[in-house]
Each structure stands twice: as C-alpha cells, then as structure tokens.
C-alpha cells in the first residue's frame, strides 16, 4: 500500500492535531475549529477516538479500526 503510516495508539491525539482535529467530551473526533462538527467515515458514521485507525488522503477520509472498514480501505487502495 502506498502512503501508509502506522503509529502507536498513544499518538492518536497528536496525529489528529496535525489534521486540525480534536476529541469532544464524548470521545468523538471533531473539527478543531468547530467542535460541534464530528468527522465521518465514507459511510457517514461518526468516529470515536478508540475506533480511529487512520486517515486516507482525499478530504480527510476517516477509517474505523474494524475488519470491514480496513478491508474496504485495502480494496479501494488496490484499484
């Protein structure tokens, strides 16, 4: 896979800050400048910090850390 960076779970908030994202009081990833705006997966699901697996280039596409989401990402990257 191209352009893949792996990181320790403890670095999640630091990684998010590079993309101007933060975490709200309920544990969801949000826009830093508008904390009421939660980030969404390509399927329109909100993403909690503990589900966060990565960000794909292209308007900040967030990926959850479940098998279905990861296989879907791999499939899209191979096309």
Q: How do residues 37-56 score in pLDDT, each as one tens digit?
A: 998 887 888 999 998 887 76
Which stretch of DSSP H or E encloses residue 67?
helix 67-78
Cα distances (angstroms) measured from residue 4 to each of 31, 44, 61, 73, 75:
22, 23, 13, 11, 14
Residue numbers of the chain with a pLDDT score lower than 50: 1
Residues 6+ apart with CB under 8 A from 9: none
Q: What are phi and psi of 71, to 5 degrees?
A: -65, -40
Full-model pTM: 0.68
- The SS3 call for residue 41 is coil
């Amino acid at each position: 896979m191209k352009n893949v960076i792996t990181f320790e779970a403890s670095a999640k908030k630091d990684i998010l800050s590079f993309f101007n994202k933060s975490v709200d009081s309920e544990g969801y990833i949000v826009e830093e400048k508008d904390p009421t705006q939660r980030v969404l997966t390509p399927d329109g699901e909100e993403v909690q910090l503990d589900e966060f697996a990565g960000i794909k280039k292209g308007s900040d596409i967030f990926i959850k850390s479940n098998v279905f989401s990861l296989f879907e990402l791999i499939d899209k990257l191979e096309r």
